[in-house]
Chain A
Amino acid sequence: METFKSKVWVLGDDIDTDIIIPTDYLALKTIGDMKKYAFSPLRPELAGQIQPGDVIVAGKNFGCGSSREQAPEIIKALQVRCVIAKSFARIFFRNAINNGLLLIETPDLTEQVEEGQEIEVCVNHCIKCNGKEYPIASLPQNLVDIIQAGGLVQAMRKRNGLEPLE
C-alpha cells in the first residue's frame, strides 16, 4: 500500500478551471510557463508557495468548467502529490487521470484540516489527520494503472511494449 506524508494547502468549493489556469495564460508556450499563474485569480502567491510533494485539499466540485487539459497538467507540473476534494467535476476527473494526477474523493476531511498541517495518505485506504482516520474509496484498477504509468499515453506505450516518454 503506497503511503506518503504531505503538507496541505486548503481551497474552497467550486475551484473552477479558470481559477486553476485563467484563459489569458493558455497561449503561453509551455506548461512550465503557465504553472506560475495557477490559482492566480484566487491566490496569486499560491503557485510560488507550493512545494513538490504537497497536497491540495478542497471542497465540492473541484475542476468544474472547461475541458482545458492544462488545468490538471499544471497541478502535476507544480508536483502536487494529489488533490483531495469532496467531489470532482467530470471532465477534470478524466483529464487528471489521463495525465497521471492522483485524485482522492472524501466527504469529511476538508473542514477538519488546516492549511500548513501535515497529513498522511494511504492510497486506496485512508487519510490520517489529527489522530483520526478518514476512509477513502479505492479507484478501479484500470484507472490506478493509468495513474501509475504516468497518464493515458504512457499507459498505452507501456501496454504496447514501448519505452516510457521522458
Chain B
Amino acid sequence: MGMTIAEKIIAAAAGVESVKPGDIHTVTLDRMMSNDGTTHLTIDMYHQQLDHPAIADSKKLVFIVDHNVPADNPKTAATHKKMRDFAREHQIDFWEGKGVCHQIMMEHYVRPGELIFGADSHTCTYGALGAFGTGVGCTDFLYGMVTGTSWLLVPETVKFNLTGKLRKGVYPRDLMLHIIGQIGANGVNYQVMEFSGEGAKTLSVNDRMVLCNLAVEAGAKSAIFEADEIALSWLKDHGRQPKQVFTSDEDAHYICEYTFNLDDIQPVVARPDFVDDVIPAAQACGTKIDEAFVGSCNNGRIDELRVAARLLKGRQVADTVRFLIVPASNDVYLQALEEGLMETFMEAGAIVMNANCSVCWGSCQGVIGENEVLISTGTRNFKGRAGHPSSKVYLASAATVTASAIKGFIATEDQL
C-alpha cells in the first residue's frame, strides 16, 4: 500500500519504512513553536513539575510574542517577560513584535518534509510548503521540549481535488470558507486535508497558506500541499532548501475524496457564531457593521493588503465604521510601505496597527462592544470571540471586508 505525503513525513520522523492510519508512533520533531498565548504555562510547568528539567535541543525551538503586542496590561507584560527571560537563558530563537507566529515561521523556518509542533491551533498553516504542522497544548509542548519527541496517532487523509480557477473577485478565503461550509466544523476531525489537482497549481504559496491555516476550523489535524515548483521557488526566494520533498503515491489510501471546482466558487461570508454557517455574501449584503478587520495569520499578507488598497484607493471608510488593517509581519508591513499601500489606507481613514494577532485574538486591540458587529478576515467567529458576548462576528475575504468598511454594511467588491 502506498502512502500519502503526511504518512511519509510521519514515517521519516518515526524512523520507520512505512506507517498506516491508526498506528501510534514516537516521532522526532523537526521544530517546535510556541507563542505568548500559553508559553508562560509551559515555563511554569517546566520549573514546577519536572525534577530535572532539561531541553532536548534548543535550536529546534522558536518562541514568538505575537498575541498581546505590545503588552496591554501588567499581567500580559509579566507573561512576556517570563518568555523573554527563559528564551535568553536557554538560547531559544525569540521574536517579539515582528509579526504573527505562523507568518514568521513561514518566512524564516518551515521546510518541506518537516514535522512541526506548534502551541497554536493554526500550526497547520505549514502544509502550504509541504510540511506537517499540527497544533498542541502546553503539556504536549513541554513533553516535546524536554524529550525532542512526541507520540502521534497516524491520521487518515482526506483528498481535496481542486479543479478550475478562481474567478476575478473571488479569493482563496472564499474557497476555504465554502469548503468548511460544505464539510462542517468537524468535517475532517482528526484527519489530514491534502489539497491537490490542477486547481491547486493555480494557487500561490500565500493562497495555500489561507487554505491550510483554516483547516483546523474543519477539525483537521493538519493540511498539506505537495511542495511543487511554486513552493520550491518561494522557498528559494526565502533562502532555504527543503528537508525532503514528498509526493503521495498513486495507490495511497484516502478515507474519502472531495472535488471542488474553483470556477463555481463565489464570495461568501460565515455568519455568527459558527465558522461553518457559510452563505453567499450577496445574501448577507446590507447588514450594518461597526468594525472591519483585515489581518490575522489567515489573511494579513501582502496579497490581502493589496486587495484592500485597490478598493480603498480614492474612497473613504464609512463614518460609522472603524477599519483596522494589521499586516501579518514586519516584512509584510515594509512591503506595503514600499508599494504605497499604507498611504492609501491612512488617506481612506483606516487604522493601521503593528503586526500582531490583533482583533482575531480578541483581547488586546479592537475589541467590540455590546451588540456590535464585526466583519473580519480573522480565523474564528465564535460567540464573544472579539469582545462582548452579545457582539457578532462575520468572516469574509479581504475584498468583502474592505467593501463593507467603505459602505458601512456588508457589501461585495462589485457593489463599489
B-binding segment of A64-72, A112-120, A123-131: A64-72
Most A CB within 10 A of own CB, among B41, B45, B137: B137
In chain B, positions 377-416 with a C-beta closer than 8 Å to chain A are 380, 382-385, 389
Q: Is A60 an interface residue (CB 8 A)?
A: yes
Q: Which of A49-57, A76-84, A91-99 contacts B (4 or more CB under 8 A)?
A: A91-99
B residues 15-49 in Cβ contact with A at 8 Å:
24, 37-38, 41, 45, 48-49
**Among the listed A16, A67, A89, A98, which residue makes an inter-chain contact with B382, where contact means beta carbons less than 8 Å apart?**
A16
Q: Is the Cβ of B137 less than 8 Å from the Cβ of A87? A: no
CA distance A19 to B274 in the complex (A): 12
Chain B residue with Cβ nearest A66: B121
Q: In the complex, what's the smallest C-beta–C-beta distance from B125 to chain A, in angstroms?
A: 13
> Given A41-B389, A87-B186, A91-B137: A153 and B37 within 8 A (CB)?
no
Q: CB < 8 Å: which of B79, B119, B189, B389 contacts A40? A: B389
Segment at the interface with A among B138-146, B257-265, B306-314: B138-146
- Interface check B362, CB cutoff 8 A: yes
Cross-chain contact A90 with B382 (CB below 8 angstroms): no
- In B198-220, which residues have CB < 8 Å from any A CB? 216-217, 219-220
How distant is the Cα of A27 from the Cα of B45 in the complex, in angstroms? 16
**Residue of B at shortest CB range from A153?**
B49
B295: interface (CB < 8 Å): no
**Which chain A residues in 1-53 approach chain B with CB under 8 Å?**
14, 16, 18-19, 22-24, 26-29, 40-42
Is the Cβ of A61 less than 8 Å from the Cβ of B186?
Answer: yes
Query: Does A152 interact with chain B (Cβ within 8 Å)?
Result: yes
Contact of B383 among A19, A60, A98 (CB under 8 A): A19
Is the Cβ of B139 less than 8 Å from the Cβ of A90?
Answer: no
CB distance from B1 to the nearest CB of A (A): 23
B41 touches A69 (CB 8 A): yes
Q: Which residue of B lies closest to A86 (CB)?
A: B186
Q: Do the beta carbons of B49 and A165 come within 8 Å of each other?
A: yes
Per a CB cutoff under 8 Å, which of A18, A70, A90 touches B385? A18
Q: Are A87 and B189 in contact (CB under 8 A)?
A: yes
Query: Do residues A98 and B140 form an inter-chain contact, with CB atoms below 8 A?
Result: yes
Interface centre among A61, A69, A89, A162 (most CB of B within 10 A): A69
- Minimum CB–CB distance from A166 to chain B (whole Å) comes to 10
Per-position 1/0 for A128-140, Cβ under 8 A of B? 0000000000001
Residues facing A in B357-372 (CB within 8 A) are 361-363
Q: How far is it, in angstroms, between the C-alpha of A66 and the C-alpha of B217 when the chains are bound?
A: 10
Question: Contacts A26-B37, A27-B73, A98-B140 hold; do A90 and B190 have CB atoms under 8 A apart?
Answer: yes
B114 beta carbon closer than 8 Å to chain A: no
CB distance from B63 to the nearest CB of A (A): 15
Alpha-carbon distance between A14 and B276 when the two chains are bound, in angstroms: 10
The answer to whether A90 and B221 touch across the interface, beta carbons within 8 angstroms, is yes
Q: Is the beta-carbon distance between B185 and A91 smaller than 8 angstroms?
A: no
Is B130's CB within 8 Å of the partner chain A?
A: no
- Would you give the shortest CB distance from A71 to chain B, in whole angstroms? 9
Of B51, B73, B190, B385, chain A has the most CB atoms within 10 Å of the CB of: B385
CA distance A22 to B388 in the complex (A): 10
A69 to B140, CA, bound (A): 10
Tell whether, in the assembled complex, residue A153 and residue B362 are in contact, meaning their CB atoms are under 8 Å apart: no
How near does chain A come to B274, taking the closest CB pair, in angstroms? Answer: 6
Q: Measured between C-beta atoms, what is the minimum distance from A53 to chain B in Å? A: 24
For A22, give its contact among B217, B220, B384 (CB under 8 Å).
Answer: B384
Q: Which of A24, A42, A66, A89 is the one whose CB lies under 8 Å from B189?
A: A89
Min Cβ gap B123→A in Å is 8
CB contact list, B112-130 vs A, under 8 A: 118-121
| B185 CB contacts on chain A under 8 angstroms | 14, 61, 64
B75 at the interface (CB under 8 A from A): yes
Determine the residue in chain A with the shortest Cβ distance to B221: A90
Q: Which residues of B contact A165 (CB under 8 A)?
A: 48-49
Q: How far is the CB of A85 from chain B (nearest CB, A)?
A: 11
Neighbouring B residues of A153 by C-beta, 8 Å: 45, 49-50, 139, 142
B416 to chain A, nearest CB (A): 33
* A41 and B286 alpha carbons, distance in the complex (Å): 27
Out of B24, B38, B190, B219, name the residue touching A69 (CB < 8 Å): B38
Instruction: Name the residue on A nearest B390 (C-beta).
Output: A41
CB contacts (< 8 Å) of A91 on chain B: these are: 121, 135-137, 216
Q: A67-B119, A90-B190 are in contact. Are A152 and B75 (CB under 8 A)?
A: no
Interfacial residues, chain A to chain B (CB-CB below 8 A): 14, 16, 18-19, 22-24, 26-29, 40-42, 60-61, 64-70, 87, 89-91, 94-95, 98-99, 140, 142, 151-153, 156-157, 162, 165
Known: A16-B383, A65-B121. 13 other contacts (CB 8 A): A19-B384, A26-B363, A64-B219, A67-B38, A67-B135, A87-B189, A89-B186, A90-B190, A94-B136, A95-B139, A95-B140, A152-B139, A153-B142
